[in-house]
Structure 1
Amino acid sequence: MTMADDRQERIRNRAHQIWLQEGQPAGHHERHWHQAAADVDKEDAAGKSAAKKPAGAGKAKAAPKAAKPAAKASKPKKAATK
């Protein structure tokens, strides 16, 4: 099976899924086919960009946040003198 045959088969399967999800409407096969082709192209583009990145080369994790300094202790209140 060639790559073109594989793509056609994927589009056919995706168009069928769309048709089923929409309740099997008659007369929308062309729209389903174009939508399926766009979906397959998106999948292929996402797969190629993911394949170019080395494993673990995703977004870097943020450094842990520094602990907040302890609240200042308030001065003790003076006792009222009489």
Structure 2
Amino acid sequence: MRVSKEEWIKRRAEQLWQAEEHRPDREQACWDKAVQEYEAGTSEADRSQVQPGPDIGTGSDPTKVD
């Protein structure tokens, strides 16, 4: 199954943020890093391999800015 750009970034940002122990001050930085990774040019096949963390979608939405 292919994953959209937005979904790939969302999943990767969640993985990065989870590694940061969901620190609120790191949420945007993790989102930005995920965007950079996507745009860095990993192959389409590699992009579809990112798996969501077990709690994806249960926290705040990193696409929204307070």
Q: TM-score, normalised by structure 1?
A: 0.44
1:8 aligns with 2:6: yes
Gaps of 5+ in 1: 49-82
Structure 1 distance, partners of 2:43, 2:34, is: 16
Equivalent of 2:34, from 33, 36, 44? 36
Report the Cα distance in structure 1 between the residues aligned to 2:42 and 2:20, rounded to whole angstroms: 26
Larger Rg: 1
CA distance in 1, matches of 2:32, 2:21: 18
SS at match of 2:25: coil
For residue 23 of structure 1, what is the aligned residue in structure 2?
Answer: 21
- One of 43, 47, 57 as aligned partner of 2:43: 47
Instruction: Output the aligned Cα RMSD.
Output: 2.0
Higher relative contact order (CA 8 A, sep 6+): 2
Question: Is 2:20–2:26's contact at 8 Å kept on the other side of the alignment?
Answer: no
- Once the two structures are aligned, what percentage of the paired residues are identical? 21
Residue 25 of structure 1: how far off its partner (Å): 0.6
Give the unaligned 5+ runs of structure 2: 45-66
Aligned length: 42
